[in-house]
Each structure stands twice: as structure tokens, then as C-alpha cells.
Structure 1
């Protein structure tokens, strides 16, 4: 089970998918150290939150011994408040900055990546990018550096609330009026990123945090670990194993990101189009039994119009057109800027 804190940074839920065989012998099962869900032996990462899967005993050991313990002070001023959320390259702890007297998300590379140049460069670039972005809808960075053990870390603003993925699991379909407000803020955040000639590279529901503010939501875009410059090939394009493991991003990844092509802001537009589709209909535009199958649908299958997927939900033809345009296989056929996408969707919702 997950309380509000444990929902804060990572969550991906999709009830329409079966990720791996669940009816296997207990000895073959793997367990996520974050959400404690169990899966078959064929998966490496939890499709719900990206945690590194292991046998139940090993998963517990990794959480307990894979990093810092609760109460420990790291980098001279960050006191660990809770066990980490364990990802592929990093762990994220809730911690207190004892000097500034504030709670932070303390993100640190796993020790085994300490000497991995590519992983360290990516982590450092994420820190540099966040340091150059000051925006109400983008996660803010307070500090980044190197621990005494020689691993890179960053201290980020701690976001209270739930992710859009949590909301989509809770409500299945998001109220269109609420979604419109969320969408506008996401577009505003992505506009700031794109103006720096960067892409986010991982626009997924679990990277969109929602903090209640009266009757509305304040959106915060998090996790810039896959961000890169516009117009260059993806630094680590996903391979078949990546998708065979049903990685959490496959539901929202653009076709060009799956084939190692140069990426630009239109890749983020595609991912956001996938989110809009699922939030309105309760169903992702492309689903399947495994990541490879979903990947192939992104590359070759034409999506069904949102209004045809859920006939009981009123989605007008203009909304259909805007979302389907965002989901075009060719970037040249999509909205060419995030600002245009935002205007078109706002106009369609008002029609």
C-alpha cells in the first residue's frame, strides 16, 4: 500500500495491461521494493513505478542496504526521513535539509554507477538543466553535488500530492474541465523547456504531480533524467529488451524515440497526446500484452478516435481531431509547437 508520501514521486497505473505472468510459483516471483507488488520472473523493472525487481527477500535487502538508512545525515546536511524509492539508476529519499529547515526529495545515484561516465553525465546534465529553469510548473532544484562516498546527488523540492497516474487509476477517466486545467499547465511547463532547445523526453502521467489548491490543481513536471537537446539522436535509444521488460514509459513513447531517430519537441507532444487520450477515455491509445506489442502499435497502428472508444462519454469531433493530430506517426504531421497544441485543445474543448 502507498500513503501520500509514497505516491509523491513515481506511479504508473494501467488496469488494462497484464505485465508478466502472475500465476507462477512463489519461488519464481519478483517483488518491487517500492510498491511491494509481485510479478513473474520475466520482468526486470516494475511497470507501475520503475523499481528494480528482485526476489522478495532480495527486494527487502536492497531497500534496507542499498543506500542510506533513516536518520542518517548525508552530505553534511540532509537527514534521511524515509526509505528510498528505488529506480534503475537512482534512489529518491524524503529528507530534511537541516540547514534550510525544509523537506526535500534527495535523489542520489546508486553506488554501482559511481564510475559509469554516461550515467554520471546524464545525472549532471539533469542538474544543470533544472538549475537553469525557474518555472511554477517545473520541479525546482535546491542543490546538487557529490557525497563523501563519491556519488552524485541533487536536492529537489518535495511535492505533496498525487501524480496524474494516481488520479487516472482512482477515477479512471479524468473530468474534462479538470483535465483542461492540468493540460494547460503542462503545456506551459514544456514551453519553457522547449525554449531552452531541450525536450523533457519522458512526459508520462507519473511525472506530472498534482498538488491541491482550492478547487484546482497545481501541476509540477518532474524527472528530467531523459531530457536532451533538440534535434539529436536519443542518447540511449530503447532497445527490444527495454520494451520487452514492459518499461513504464512504453505507453507514452513517441515512434521516433523507439527507433533511435533524432528527437525534438514534437516527441513530447506525442507523449502528451497519449496522456490526453487515456485521461479522457480511461484507455491508453495503444495497449498490449507486452512492451514489444505496444511498441509495434505505436509504430504502425492507427489509433481509434477517442469518441469511438468510450461512446458513453461526450467527446466532440474537434477534440478527436486535436488528439489524433498529436498522435500522428510522422512528427511533421503533428502540432509543430506545444503552444499550438495548447491553443488547439483549448479551442476544441470550448466548441
Structure 2
């Protein structure tokens, strides 16, 4: 169907029949509107590809694939499809785009995601809803459709209690699941509910849906998914490598039987899980110990599982042939047979033959009859004997069934010993190599067919020999990235980031990777442990006191410190000038990258300036260096006159006076 060209913003009537009303939901690639079928007068839900994606052929292809997938499904636990079509719209840029739409059953109720968030699920109700989901998957798998995105947001519970599985947006036919659908290198689906094979990008099948359904049941019982993480990559890694905690450790009301069922349903190897939805349903019913009520089929809470599951291949019943106007019915009712009342004695009716009694037969006639009877018996014995001899010869002539041999157990044997064991069992050997993290190089990993399989002598058997663990190079470009990013990338490479060691660095910002152990760039076996060396964002302050200023500057400029410096001089008469006597941060302590360090450098104290000596001092009376200058003659008392204090002349001195 195709409608007229309309503006995206206008209210519209799709295909001149379906009125588009208010928006009721929004997904990754489509908007869901409430609508009304004007021809049949019933409410509908209209899923319309978003106009910004309508120009992308890949989104149109996915949207049409959903319509084709769900249109083939007609089950009370699957949202029904009424009609599909395309509408030509004019987007905001004035371009005409063809937007496909799907007209679906309008369902009122709540998603399982809302019920989990509101804590409205008991164990009985959760098992009832799980049964409805598995009933829908059982039906879709029988017709060859894998959902591939089972999660709480894609399961609706109506107001009447009926479970409805929605959004087959990434469903695929079983025969077409060999292709790995990716979008920007990410596997389609939701990380918390991905099966291990989906996380690895492998081919999916019905058992992948059952793993996702088990994650859904786990969350309904415990209020949380089996695996949680900081990113989608870490959650997907856990689906592939780790075991979930038992549901009873989260919710003590979960029984050991339920733990066992979920443990099998969440196995990493799909061959170890339930092989079909019917087996999963039966296991959940057995843990409940009683009928679960509504969920599969009708919406009445009084319904139970009175209908027995038919074997696969007998669930589609052909219409009974109709008799023609002149024909008797192909199946006629048998006449009722009288059932004798207990205790009553039935009176047998006499049998009447059309011959008389022996008394009425002539003796010659009796003799002839006796002869014919003996002859017939003898002939019958001869015929039976001939038949017995014939079949005995046929059976004896048949060749004996060929003798088979069992494939011997050779795991963990050396290649020579494993080859010898297979040759002794009269089997041909076809060696192949494979990497292994658990079996040493040159030793047997397994055989194909496996140990114990019965095969004819001379059958080729693949002997898989270990090449040791695969080597993985630690990417050199991880340096400087955040620790969380590094852990995720190492897990994607199959490595195990175990321990984080923090180290000071002058160049790598806090929380970023400095190096790994083993070092970046080295090759290590797959699955190896790798330790992370992460920057603290700080540097270690060196010991500067006692160094010269030049030596202190050199220490602070070193590559592992790289701190700016300011110098403050201080008088110090004790240490040699130019020696560092103090630093603003203590030695061997941690300081932030780029912090400015202040150092104190010793400076010689200033010397006092001496006063000049007087120009007219008495003879021989020069001042001492430390005494104050002598007063000038004019500033003190007048010098004595020669007459007042006569000095003896040299000639007047006593002859006995010593010369000085």
C-alpha cells in the first residue's frame, strides 16, 4: 500500500484507512503511535520507521524484515500483525522519503521491564510470564523464526494477564542465521541478554533465544540480570567467560530446583542447554509443582496446562476432508455398545449353523470329511515347514552387520601416542592443528568424532593437536588511555587484566595507563594475565636541602619530576652561600604534577662599614680600630701652652733614664 505525500508534522491517514494518533513508544529505529482502523472501527498500534532513518536502505530492509517475520506468526502470545504499507513523507529538508509502517494489534498493559522496576513479580507470577514467553518462542521456532532480542522491554503483559512478545525487529529465519548482523562492528541485540554465541558474532539458532529467555527469567526472579558491568563490552565478556551467581543467592525464595533449571539454561555451550522451548517450559512447570495458570494461550488466570504438548511435526493439523453430496461421510460414528451393568450376568445367545448335527450325517460322508480334514492338516504343515525353511535360508544368507570400533580416548596424549592408539583401533588419522590455552603444544586436544563414538574400521578420524596458546601482541597505543578502556580492550583480545598497580608519573595524567606487565608491544599467550601500571597524577619530591642552587634546579627539571621552581634568598652565616637550606614540600613526599616548588638559598650576611680616621690627631695617638675617633684639638679643651706643662727636652733628661 502506498499513500499520498504528506508533511511529517501533519496528522495523517495512512493508506486512506489508518488514522495516526498520539505517540505511545519509541525504539531505536521506529516510533509507535496509537491509531484507529477507520474501516473496521478498531484501535490499532502503528509502527512507523523514523523519517531520519527512512532514507537509509539498511534500516528499511530491517524494518521490512520484521514485518515479514511477524506476519508469518499467529499465536496468542505474539503481538499480531494486521497490515503493512509505505507512506511517502516530506521531511524537514523538503525531501520526499518512503517510510514503511506496520499496523499491529493494540495491546494495553505493562512491559515486564515496568513490572520488574515496580517489584510487582512474585515467583509464581514470574514463572507464569516465563511460560507465556516460552510458548511464543516454541511457536516461532517451529515456523523457523528466531527472535534474537528477547528482553524485558520486548515482553508485554496485558491487563488480562496474557503475555505478548513484541519487536521482532532483528528476527531472522533459521536458515538465514548464518550471516552475522552487525552495525558499526557491534552485534545486534541487548548486551545484558546476549547469548555467548551472539557476543562472539557466531551463527545463532533457537537455543540462543532460550539463553536470552533464561536471562529474562533470572531477572524476573531476582530483580537484576545475571551479569552486570560498567560497559556493554564487559557484560558481553561475562556472558562468554564467566558463570552467573545462583538466583537463590540474590533471592532466597528461589528453590534449588529453579537454580538447577536456570543453571542448565544459562550454559555457555548451546549443546548443554535445553534444546527447545518445550523442554524449557516442562522444566519450569516441574519446579512450580502445580499449574502456572495464565501465560500461554488465553488470558484467563483460571487456565492451566491441560493441553498436552504434541511432538514436533504434529502441531499443524490438516482440515478434515468434506464428503460430497452423494458420498457417505469419510468418518462415521460407531454405534454405541451396551456396557453390562456390574454384577449382571449376560445370557449368551445360541449359535445356529446351517448344517445338522453329527447324528444326521451319513457315515460315508463323515469318513470323507475326516479324510479331507487330515489331508488339509498335512498340507498346511508342509506349507508352514517350507515357509520356515525359506525364511531360515534368507536370514542365514544375509551378511552379518559390519563390526564397528570405538574411537579411543587420546586427549592430553602426545601426538605420537595418540596416533598409535588410533592406528591400533584400525582407524585412519587426519591430523589438524589448533590453538589451546589448556593443552601443551604437540599434545592431543580431541578427536572428531569424539571419544567413544562407534565407527566402521578404516574411518578417517580428525586428530586435533595443540599448537599452544595463540600469541597476542599488547597494543603499544594503550599508553595514556584510561584504565577502564584498557581493561575492556585487553578482554576483547582474550587477555585477563587482573591487578592494577599505581605509580607516580610526571607526564601521564592521573588514572591513565603508564605501562603493563608484560610491557606494551610484547607478545603473550592468549588468556594470559596482564597487570596494569596506572598513573597517580603525582610526582615524588626529591631531597634538595644541602644541594647547591644549580643542583636543586637540575633535580627539579629531571624527566621524572618536571616541577617549576622559584628561589628565595636568606642571610645565613652558618652554611656556605648558594646552598639550599629549605624546600616548600617535604622530601620523598607526593606532590601534584606541575606544582611550583620554592627553595631557600643561603646568602652571606652584609659586613659593617668602618668610620674614617681624624686628620689632626696627636702624635702617636692614632685611634684603635674599635674605639671611637679622638676629638679634634679644636673641639676639646685647649692644648697646654709650653710654659704651663714644659716637656723635657732630650738634653734635659736624666742620664740614667732609659731610652725608649
Q: TM-score, normalised by structure 2?
A: 0.40
Q: Rg bigger for which structure?
A: 2
**SS of residue matched to 1:201:** coil
Q: How far apart, in 2, do the equivalents of 1:185 and 1:110 lie?
A: 30
Q: How far apart, in 2, do the equivalents of 1:337 and 1:242 lie?
A: 23
**What residue is the counterpart of 2:141 in the other structure?**
194
Q: How many residues align?
A: 275
Matched, 1:224 2:164: no
- Which one of the candidate residues 90, 99, 117 is aligned to 1:151? 99
- Which one of the candidate residues 248, 252, 255 is aligned to 1:316? 255
State the Cα distance separating 1:88 from its structure 2 match: 2.5
Matched, 1:330 2:330: no
Q: Describe the superposition over 1:58-92 as per-residue Cα deviations: whole angstroms up to 9, x where unpaired.
A: xxxxxxxxx84474323322222213633322111
Is the 2:181–2:187 contact (alpha carbons within 8 Å) kept by the matching residues of 1?
no
Is the 1:70–1:80 contact (alpha carbons within 8 Å) kept by the matching residues of 2?
no
Which runs of 5 or more structure 1 residues have no equivalent in the other structure?
1-66
Is the 1:237–1:257 contact (alpha carbons within 8 Å) kept by the matching residues of 2?
no
Q: How far apart, in 2, do the equivalents of 1:122 and 1:241 lie?
A: 16
Matched, 1:122 2:62: yes
**What residue is the counterpart of 1:63 in the other structure?**
none
Over 3 Å counting, the alpha-carbon distance change for 1:240 and 1:294 in structure 2 is farther
Q: Describe the superposition over 1:300-323 as per-residue Cα deviations: whole angstroms up to 9, x where unpaired.
A: 11111111223xx32221110110
Q: Describe the superposition over 1:14-56 as per-residue Cα deviations: whole angstroms up to 9, x where unpaired.
A: xxxxxxxxxxxxxxxxxxxxxxxxxxxxxxxxxxxxxxxxxxx
**What residue is the counterpart of 1:237 in the other structure?**
182
Is the 2:19–2:37 contact (alpha carbons within 8 Å) kept by the matching residues of 1?
yes
Matched, 1:163 2:111: yes
- Which one of the candidate residues 157, 163, 178 is aligned to 1:210? 157
Q: Which protein is richer in helix relative to its size?
A: 1
**SS of residue matched to 2:62:** helix
**What residue is the counterpart of 2:207 in the other structure?**
266
Is the 2:18–2:38 contact (alpha carbons within 8 Å) kept by the matching residues of 1?
yes
**SS of residue matched to 1:260:** coil
Is the 2:187–2:198 contact (alpha carbons within 8 Å) kept by the matching residues of 1?
no
Q: How far apart, in 2, do the equivalents of 1:178 and 1:206 lie?
A: 17
Q: How far apart, in 1, do the equivalents of 2:249 and 2:41 lie?
A: 52
Q: Describe the superposition over 1:136-170 as per-residue Cα deviations: whole angstroms up to 9, x where unpaired.
A: 11111111011133211111111100001100000
State the Cα distance separating 1:330 from its structure 2 match: 1.0
Which runs of 5 or more structure 2 residues have no equivalent in the other structure?
1-6, 90-97, 291-660
**What residue is the counterpart of 2:331 in the other structure?**
none
**Alignment root-mean-square deviation, CA:** 2.1
Over 3 Å counting, the alpha-carbon distance change for 1:272 and 1:103 in structure 2 is same
Q: How far apart, in 1, do the equivalents of 2:11 and 2:112 lie?
A: 31
Q: TM-score, normalised by structure 1?
A: 0.73
Is the 2:156–2:163 contact (alpha carbons within 8 Å) kept by the matching residues of 1?
yes
Q: Which has the higher contact order (CA 8 A, sep 6+)?
A: 1
**What residue is the counterpart of 1:175 in the other structure?**
122
Q: How far apart, in 1, do the equivalents of 2:164 and 2:10 lie?
A: 27
Matched, 1:78 2:18: yes
**SS of residue matched to 1:145:** strand
Is the 1:307–1:315 contact (alpha carbons within 8 Å) kept by the matching residues of 2?
yes
**What residue is the counterpart of 1:93 in the other structure?**
33
Matched, 1:250 2:197: no
**What residue is the counterpart of 1:103 in the other structure?**
43
Is the 2:112–2:153 contact (alpha carbons within 8 Å) kept by the matching residues of 1?
yes
Is the 2:134–2:277 contact (alpha carbons within 8 Å) kept by the matching residues of 1?
yes
Q: How far apart, in 1, do the equivalents of 2:207 and 2:13 lie?
A: 42
Q: How far apart, in 2, do the equivalents of 1:296 and 1:71 lie?
A: 46
- Which one of the candidate residues 220, 225, 233 is aligned to 1:284? 225
- Which one of the candidate residues 258, 261, 275 is aligned to 2:216? 275
Over 3 Å counting, the alpha-carbon distance change for 1:81 and 1:69 in structure 2 is farther
Q: How far apart, in 2, do the equivalents of 1:229 and 1:137 lie?
A: 19
Q: Describe the superposition over 1:180-224 as per-residue Cα deviations: whole angstroms up to 9, x where unpaired.
A: 2111111111111001112011111111110122xxx10111100
**What residue is the counterpart of 1:298 in the other structure?**
239
**SS of residue matched to 1:147:** strand
